[in-house]
Amino acid sequence: MSEPTRLVLIRHGETRLNVENIFRGRTDIPLNENGFDQARRLGEALRPQRLAAVYSSPMDRAMATARGVAEAQGLTVQAMDAFHNICLGAWEGRSKQEIRQEQPELWRQWVHTPEALVLPGAETIPRVRERAMRGIAELLDRHASQTVAVVTHRSVLKTILAGMLGLERDYFWKFYLDNCSYSTVEHQHPFGFTLTSLNECCHLPSRTRETF
């Protein structure tokens, strides 16, 4: 039996909008000072893992986090659109408090049934899951029996984890993922995916607890 393929799934480091509890989506904001420190600490924490490659969402905050990991391994970051953040349409750049007050029905759906939420001009969670899992399948083909890192966003990671575990509904809020945390998954034929760790944060001295 061949060695499993190991995926290190990473949420990007902290940004100002995370601290201010504002919807990000495709708003391309950089890491804040704490986020850059988190990325450096993450790179050191993952240094012993001997990664074959580091992939990232093309967004600045993800790429900067990925560089912290890649540079510690002597690698360069490879951007993949499959791991781009969800597009949230008109919600992007707006505070969650404002949305809760101005659009209570849509906010209720976001809190209770986000997998079914449809926003004008936005991407649905099922569509995110579809493209992200295609990206994961591509990496499994490309890196059999190797360890690779993927740096992406909270919403994308939730759909990836649900897809790997076969969760079809009511899964989005069952995962909590801190900025610059990592989770590990192994894939081996014929068994499929095994979640081996979730939301690892031992390398992070400072975290912002984010709600919804």
- pLDDT, tens digit, 9 for 90 and up, residues 135-181: 999 999 999 999 999 999 999 999 999 999 999 999 999 999 999 99
pLDDT computed for residue 208 by the predictor: 84
Tell me which H or E stretch contains 35: helix 33-46
**pTM exceeds 0.75, yes or no:** yes
Q: What is the DSSP letter of 30?
A: P
Q: Report the chain's terminal Cα–Cα distance, integer Å.
A: 42
Asked if the model's pLDDT at residue 1 lies above 90, the reply is no
Q: Average of pLDDT values for 79-99?
A: 97
pLDDT computed for residue 17 by the predictor: 97
pLDDT computed for residue 180 by the predictor: 98
Q: What is the Cα–Cα distance from 117 to 50, expressed in whole angstroms?
A: 40
Strands 147-152 and 53-56: parallel
Contact 184, 8 (CB under 8 A): yes
Mark out the alpha helices in 49-142 (DSSP H runs): 60-73, 96-102, 104-112, 125-142
What are the pLDDT digits (tens) for 37-69? 999 999 999 999 999 999 999 999 999 999 999
